[in-house]
Structure 1
């Protein structure tokens, strides 16, 4: 089955460290960012705020080196296996998921 993109031609993509299996981040991809990822070997997203390609690490040097791409059972989300060069999060943390949800304070 072909991938199912949303109404904006995007699909959510979870990035996981290929070696440690730690979840690193969630980004959005489209056909152009997927082509760029395969062509360059660097994980590339579609920036929803800037409406342009976003090659992770291009400005910070913290690239995500592409290993493989997997789709879920409903063809509507992706799992990107990558080898990170440095921290993935813009806060300089290894992962964007470094904060645990506090039920009392975080849930409305």
Structure 2
């Protein structure tokens, strides 16, 4: 059965959340948004492409920073309203220069920073 990006359930802005996961370790690195064209571009090029809500433009991860995401596996959840992109990540995934965007934990009611920025 061939895949059709139109078969996904997008929100009222035409977007769907995409979770980026390290294909080797299973670590969740970030979440960003895709539209149907970003999905198509990602699958066609193997370069993970998101839709930037603030810039209203396509965003190929790593295009300016060099911290690229190479697509390894593209998955659709059971409700077809969320994506999982399993990737090979070069450098940090987070714009704060951390490996993951999920570097803050809440423990005993306090925020705890779990990782520091990576050095270049």
The aligned length equals 106
Which residue pairs with 2:118 in the alignment?
none
* Aligned-partner SS, 2:38: helix
Aligned pairs for 1:1-40 (under 5 A) are 2-40=7-45
Which residue pairs with 1:50 in the alignment?
55
> Structure 1 segments of 4 or more deviating over 6 A?
none
Q: What is the CA deviation profile of residues 17-60 of structure 1, one whole-angstrom value per residue up to 9, with x for unaligned ones?
A: 00000000000001111111122211110000011100010010
Q: Give me the TM-score of the superposition, normalised by structure 1.
A: 0.91
Q: Aligned partners of 2:107 and 2:37: how far apart in 1?
A: 37
Runs (5+) with no aligned partner, structure 2: 112-120
Which residue pairs with 2:101 in the alignment?
96
Cα shift at 1:98: 1.0
Larger RCO: 1 or 2 (CA < 8 Å, sep 6+): 1
Larger-gyration structure (1/2) = 2
The structure 2 residue matched to 1:41, chosen from 25, 39, 46, is 46
Cα shift at 1:104: 3.2
Runs (5+) with no aligned partner, structure 1: none
Q: Give me the TM-score of the superposition, normalised by structure 2.
A: 0.82
Q: Aligned partners of 1:79 and 1:27: how far apart in 2?
A: 10
